[in-house]
Structure 1
Amino acid sequence: MIASLVRACRHALSNDSAIPQIRREGAGLTRSGFLRVAAAGVLSAGIAVGAGRAFAAGSSGIAPVTDLDKFYDAWQDRFNAHDIEGMVDLYVADVTYINPEGKELIGKTGVRADFEGLFAMKPQIDLHDRKHIVYHDIALTTNHWTLKLTDAAGKAQELTGGGIEVVRKESDGGWRFIIDDASRSAS
């Protein structure tokens, strides 16, 4: 905001100002000229704040999940909606992801491919027995899950399992997986 005010003041004090009401008078601006410059700076700052919020939502426009207690709710909602972009946004770029079959995948590309294949079967999941232990901006989380889907042969299936994950609070305030191991037994 200060930079916006400085630019507006410099512009207003220049000889070829585009704001005719703000005049150069000796040592500075008139009171009304200052108020116009301040209003321009506040307007500029407001635009910058809006842009900052849009940037915080990521280039995808998806708002980060900033409440750890709602993180699994968001994951479950996005999963059940088969929202691939929303799901991938919950992972850091270089995540270590272990799918339910125990296959280790590194990065969002692997996460995306795994979920795209799974979403083709129109699954629905219920995450329960959710727990997390927090240390500063990192949390160890666990859950049990029940997954219902229809396999390629058209047969309804119900699978159970558990997950143990590590999530980290990122610079935009959102929690994201840095390690997601969905291959644990639900026993």
Structure 2
Amino acid sequence: MSSDDVRERAARPEDLGRFILERLNAGDVEGLVALYEPDAILALPNGQVATGSEEIRQAYAHIVADRPTFAPGQQQPTLQNGDLALTSARLVDGGATVEVARRQADGTWLWVIDQPSLLG
């Protein structure tokens, strides 16, 4: 059994926000990558975009390298239309996150677009 098999999967789009915080604080790079579709995009603080699992993996490896602590934001109501959902959170620093999740064939949810530092 791989470590992906034992990680909890998002039954609702809102679960992704909780999982990302848990996995960031644990330094769990593979667990972070597992929250995204294979061809997802992740906006980076420097204005660049990480596209696909390998670039997202590299970005998170860099982000958690010094083991920073991430504080929870205030989850905002999810907007859902069929198999797509818009999730967001207000951050402690006044910024916000905005993400688009898609329901997978097994009923779980993964992010396809992640903008973690809007207005931050």
How would you bin the TM-score normalised by the shorter chain? 0.7 to 0.9
Matched, 1:93 2:27: no
- What's the C-alpha RMSD, in Å, of the aligned pairs? 2.1
Contact 2:13–2:101, Cα closer than 8 Å, also in 1: no
Letter of the structure 1 residue corresponding to residue 31 of structure 2: G
Matched, 1:140 2:74: no
Which whole-Å CA distance do the structure 1 matches of 2:35 and 2:42 have between them?
Answer: 12
Change (3 A) 1:164 1:69: closer
Indicate the SS of the match to 2:16: helix
Matched, 1:182 2:116: yes
TM-superposed CA distance for 1:59, in Å, is: 8.1
TM-superposed CA distance for 1:101, in Å, is: 2.5
Residue 4 of structure 2, aligned match among 60, 77, 89: 60
Choose between structure 1 and 2 for higher RCO, CA contacts under 8 A separated by at least 6 residues. Answer: 2
Contact 1:143–1:163, Cα closer than 8 Å, also in 2: yes
Letter of the structure 2 residue corresponding to residue 136 of structure 1: G
Q: Which runs of 5+ in 2 are unaligned?
A: none
Change (3 A) 1:183 1:128: closer
Contact 2:13–2:87, Cα closer than 8 Å, also in 1: no
2:52 counterpart residue number? 107
- For residues 73-131 of structure 1, what are the alpha-carbon distances to aligned partners after superposition, in whole Å with 9 as ceiling and x for unaligned? 11111111111111100000000111123211110111110110111111111232222
Indicate the SS of the match to 1:127: coil
TM-superposed CA distance for 1:70, in Å, is: 2.5
Indicate the SS of the match to 2:91: strand
TM-superposed CA distance for 1:141, in Å, is: 1.3
- Using the size of structure 1 for normalisation, the TM-score is 0.57
Paired residues for 1:12-23 under 5 Å:
none
Residue 70 of structure 1, aligned match among 15, 21, 34: 15
Letter of the structure 1 residue corresponding to residue 112 of structure 2: I
Which whole-Å CA distance do the structure 1 matches of 2:112 and 2:91 have between them?
Answer: 19
Which whole-Å CA distance do the structure 2 matches of 1:79 and 1:160 have between them?
Answer: 19
Indicate the SS of the match to 2:42: strand
Indicate the SS of the match to 1:93: strand
Indicate the SS of the match to 1:60: helix
Rg (Cα) greater in structure: 1
Q: Which runs of 5+ in 1 are unaligned?
A: 1-53, 147-158
The aligned length equals 118
